[in-house]
Amino acid sequence: MARNKVEICGVDTSKLPVLKNQEMRELFREYQAGDIDSREKLVSGNLRLVLSVIQRFHNRGECVDDLFQVGCIGLMKAIDNFDLGQNVKFSTYAVPMIIGEIRRYLRDNNPIRVSRSLRDIAYKALQMRDNLTNRHSREPTVQEISKALGVPKEDVVFALDAIQDPVSLFEPVFQDGGDPIYVMDQISDEKAKDIQWVEEIALKEALARLNDREKMILSMRFFEGKTQMEVADEIGISQAQVSRLEKAAIHQMHRYVT
C-alpha cells in the first residue's frame, strides 16, 4: 500500500520525529547548557506541533509553505524562551507563541486598511499579550491586556477585531462527498478561545498515555454517562475497582496536563 506523503517546504511530514516528554526535557537541559545541536533536535521533534497549528489557518488562502515557515519561527522563539523550572508542558507554552507569530504575519499582510489609531492599539495589545504569555506561561484575558495597557477593554477588543482577516460566511470548511459545511454552519454564541484549543491538545495527549482499560472506563463514565456500577457490570469487575481505576486515571491525566 502506498504511503501518504505530504511535503511542506521540502519536508516530508510523514517522517517527522516525535519526542517523548522525558527526551524533550533532557534536550532542553543540554541546549540550555550550551549544546546548539540539541536546539536543532528540539525544532525537528516539534514540527508536528507547527503542522497542527497551521491547520487552523488553512482556509485563509495563504500559502501553506509560508505559514509553516512563520510557524517555525514561533516554535524557535518558544524553544529559546522556555523555562524548565515552570511546571508547564512545552506544547502548552509553544502553541500560543506559534499562533502569535502567524497572526503577526497575517496582520502585516492584511489588504484591508485600518486606521492608524486602531492599528497602534492592536499592535500594543498583541505585544502585551506576548509579554504576559511569556511571563505567566498562559494566554492572558482581554481584561488583563487592557489593564496592563491602561486602555478600555472595549477599545482593545475593537482594535483586535479590526485587524482580523475577513472570512466569507459561505466559505466551505469541510466536504466529504456530500453537502459542504460552511463557516456560517459553525458559528456559535461564544467566540472560541486559543487557551481552550491548547487545553484540548493537552487533554488528547494525556488520554493517549492511559492504558486501554483506563480509556474505556473514562469513555463510559464521562462520554457515555454510565454509572460506576453499570461500568463494573459491563467490563466484569467490581464497582470499587472501577472507582479506584477511574480516580487513578484522572490523577495521572491531571499530572500530565498541569
Give the per-residue pLDDT at 2.
36
Greater pLDDT, 55 or 116: 55
Query: Among 3-12, 161-170, 242-251, which stretch is predicted with the lowest mean pLDDT?
Result: 3-12
Please name the residue that has the C-alpha cell 497549528.
53
Residue 117 has pLDDT above 60, yes or no: yes
Between residues 144 and 163, which one has the greater pLDDT? 144
Q: Which pLDDT value is given to residue 30?
A: 92
From the list 97, 70, 16, the residue with the least C-alpha distance to 88 is 97
The residue among 99 and 223 whose pLDDT is bigger is: 99
Q: What is the pLDDT of residue 180?
A: 59
Q: Is the per-residue pLDDT at 47 higher than 80?
A: yes
pLDDT of amino acid 80: 92
What residue ranges define each of the domains in the chain, with the CATH number in brackets? 8-111 (1.20.120.1810), 113-164 (1.10.10.10), 209-258 (1.10.10)
Q: Is pLDDT larger for residue 5 or for residue 204?
A: 204
Q: How does the average pLDDT of the chain come out, rounded?
A: 77
Q: What is the pLDDT of residues 16-36, one digit of tens each?
A: 777 888 888 899 999 988 888
Amino acid identity for residue 237 in this structure: I
Higher pLDDT, 193 or 156: 156
Does pLDDT of 184 surpass 80?
Answer: no
Return the H-helix or E-strand segment holding 223: none
The residue-averaged pLDDT of 96-122 equals 75
What are 209-214's contacts with CB under 8 Å, separation 24+? 209/252, 209/253, 209/256, 210/249, 210/252, 210/253, 213/245, 214/245, 214/248, 214/249, 214/252
Q: What is the pLDDT of residue 7?
A: 56
- The pLDDT, as a whole number, for residue 54 is 85
Q: How many CB atoms within 10 Å of residue 45?
A: 18
- If you write DSSP's letter for every residue of 104-121 in order, what string do you get? HHHHHT--S---HHHHHH
Complete DSSP assignment for 2-17: PPP--EETTEEGGG--
- Predicted local confidence at residue 189, as pLDDT: 46
pLDDT of residue 186 exceeding 70: no
Could you report the per-residue pLDDT of 234-246, keeping only the tens digit for each? 888 888 888 888 8
Which residues, at least 6 apart from 226, have a Cβ–Cβ distance to it below 8 Å? 220, 234
Window from 74-78, 169-173, 228-232 with minimum mean pLDDT: 169-173
Q: Say if residues 208 and 151 touch (Cβ distance below 8 Å).
A: no
Q: How far apart are CA 228 and CA 243, in angstroms?
A: 7
